Structure 1
Amino acid sequence: MTAVERRTPEIDQEEVRRARRLQLERIGRWVLPVAIMALAIWLWDRICVWNEIPQYILPRPGVVVRTLYSDAGLLFGSLLVTLKITLLGLLLAVIGGVGLSVLFAQSKWVEMSFFPFAVVLQVTPIVAIFPLINIYVDNQTARLLLCAWIVAFFPILSNTTLGLNSVDRNLRDLFRLNGATRWQELWHLRLPAAMPYFLGGLKIAGGLSLIGAVVAEFVAGASGQSSGLASRIIEAGYRLNAPRLFAALILISLTGIVIFLLLSLLSHLLLRRWHESALEREG
């Protein structure tokens, strides 16, 4: 038996072990979070039973699910209001962040002049800015939308600017040697190279826009049939309606998870054929 023949079974066994490990990882990626979540819900229910906690303090999971079903018309109507503010704020953040990033990439003087203002917006708490917005903006929807935009704007701006400025200098020199204009270099080189950075910022901004919309509703104290989920939480807290409060919180959390998953799927679909991060996940 040759040395190659002796090594072949060892290589095959290693490939089998590697395939099994990858299969277990794929299964565990979904099974473990579901199992931990189920255990947490079971403990929540048992703590309520063992300690005889009143419903108005901590409702059992089954009570929250029943409330979610019985109050579906009210809660899902408010969810649509919050979701509209979230998505519009995210859209404006994408338009403004990408547009300003392109200007920054074209002129260092513009970046040095305006980037500090973007940092100021990011580091100043939205609850401190909202009183000024409340004075200068009359429309309630516009106030909430502006808050969601402010919170979601900076991650897209900073990540996209970083991506546009991280292009390989040799490739930029090659474009210039071939007579490419600045806008041709931007469109064919810098924007594709910045796409993974932009998508990373977009996933962050998606959650932040939801947070901005909810926090703005809390600060604004919005009420009425056309108000969002934050107002339902405030209302339920005043009325000691803990099941509705928990149901609204669950809807907000599920909305954030769905937004993150959709943006992650978008990122994977756009990058899977050419970017190293997506290729590694497929391998």
Structure 2
Amino acid sequence: MNLKTIHISNMPIECHILKGRLESEGIECYIFDENLVWVHPFRSVAIGGVKLMVPEDQYDKAKQVLQAIQDVNLVDDAGSYAMEDAVNGAMEKEDEILHIKSILRHDPELLDQPEKIEKKLISTKELEDLITAEKQFLKLSQRDKTPSIGELIHELTDFNFDVLKNLRPNPTEYYLEKEDVENFTHQKKDFGIVSCPHCASTNVRFDDAIDYKWDIPYLFFSLITMVPFPPIRHKYHCFNCGKDFKVKHHSNQNNS
């Protein structure tokens, strides 16, 4: 098998990262001279660096993948896409999925009326799968989570301490799914986007305040307890500019 060098670097880790990317495309990869560079990093230039090599008949495909990485593109069998456009498209699709889930949880009757659900980005098959998953979620949410006295006595006398399972009787995925949709509802109430009034970024989250923790109630409780009291006010926090802000009314307006 004839090998051809496709990338040279003074850092072995860089070759390993590219090797993993190429192998994900079904391209065989081999790294040469990395051990010498690990032992004697300053000899990397003298030996011509660490070489990433691929079979000669796969060189053109590998070159295309590396060029796409350099151009910040994504490549698949259908073609090449700008990574930013692909990521934005995926985020818009995920927002639509969370939007539909939020609607279904506010109006479960729509589970049996999929034709009334508006969709733009997801396919009919994806909507069917989503509805199936939401029906299962609804069943789990309606489960009786209160153990009987007999069950408690039995589990408490069991050395395996299985009584702890009654604290979270549903699968972990149920709670993760529940939290995702609840956060989406807080973030985009009435399906409008909350943006920061300081920098207009939409990278915000409704949680404990950070900038407003040094207020009178905070200091008062800290003095009484003699320990720093945790933030007690909830506001939106912008991860772009670091500011906290309040939204008087959740609406479709970008700024409040």
- Relative to total residues, which structure has the larger helix share, 1 or 2? 1
TM-score per shorter chain, which class? under 0.3
Q: Structure 2 length as normaliser, TM-score? A: 0.27
Structure of greater relative contact order (alpha carbons < 8 Å, 6+ residues apart): 1
Q: Structure 1 length as normaliser, TM-score? A: 0.25
